[in-house]
Amino acid sequence: MTDRKMPIYLDYSATTPVDPRVADKMIPWLTEHFGNPASRSHAFGWEAEEAVENARAEVAKLVNCDAKEIVWTSGATESNNLAIKGAAHFYAAKGKHIVTVKTEHKAVLDTVRELERVGFEATYLEPEPSGLVDPAKFEAALRPDTILASVMMVNNEIGVIQPIAEFGEILRRKGVLFHVDAAQATGKVPVDLASLKVDLMSFSAHKTYGPKGIGALYVRRKPRVRLEAQMHGGGHEKGMRSGTLATHQIIGMGEAFRLARLEMATENERIRMLRDRLLDGLKGMEELYVNGDLEHRVPHNLNVSFNFVEGESLIMGMKELAVSSGSACTSASLEPSYVLRALGRNDELAHSSIRFTIGRWTTEADIDFAVKLLHERIGKLREMSPLWEMYKEGIDLNTVQWAAH
Partner 1 sequence: MRVTEGKHMAYSEKVIDHYEHPRNVGSFAKDEEGVATGMVGAPACGDVMKLQIKVGAGGIIEDAKFKTYGCGSAIASSSLVTEWVKGKTLDEAGGIRNTQIAEELALPPVKIHCSILAEDAIKAAIADYRKKYGEEDGAQKAAD
Write out the residues near partner 1 by the rule CB under 8 A: 7, 308-313, 315-317, 319, 322, 325, 327, 329-332, 334, 336, 346-348, 351, 383-389, 397, 402-405
What is the amino acid identity at position 172?
Answer: R
Shortest reach from residue 323's CB to partner 1, in Å: 9
Shortest reach from residue 337's CB to partner 1, in Å: 12
- Choosing from 329, 371, 373, 390, the catalytic residue is 329
* CA 59/CA 45 separation, integer angstroms: 21
Shortest reach from residue 106's CB to partner 1, in Å: 15
Residue 361 buriedness (CB in 10 A; 0-12 / 13-18 / 19+): middle
* C-beta of 90 vs 391, nearer to partner 1: 391
**Residue 126 CB neighbour total at 10 angstroms:** 14
What is the amino acid identity at position 145?
Answer: D
To the query of whether residue 65 is one of the catalytic residues in this protein, the response is no
- Taking CA atoms, 39 is separated from 45, 50, 245, in Å, by 4, 12, 11
* C-beta of 58 vs 348, nearer to partner 1: 348
* C-beta of 194 vs 403, nearer to partner 1: 403
299 contact partners, CB below 8 Å, separation of at least 6: 188, 268, 271, 272, 275, 358
CB 30 within 8 A of CB 343: no
* C-beta of 116 vs 389, nearer to partner 1: 389
* CA 56/CA 61 separation, integer angstroms: 9
Beta bridge partners of 161: 154
What is the amino acid identity at position 43?
Answer: A
CB 80 within 8 A of CB 105: yes
* CA 310/CA 350 separation, integer angstroms: 9
* C-beta of 169 vs 347, nearer to partner 1: 347
Which sequence positions are flagged as catalytic? 329
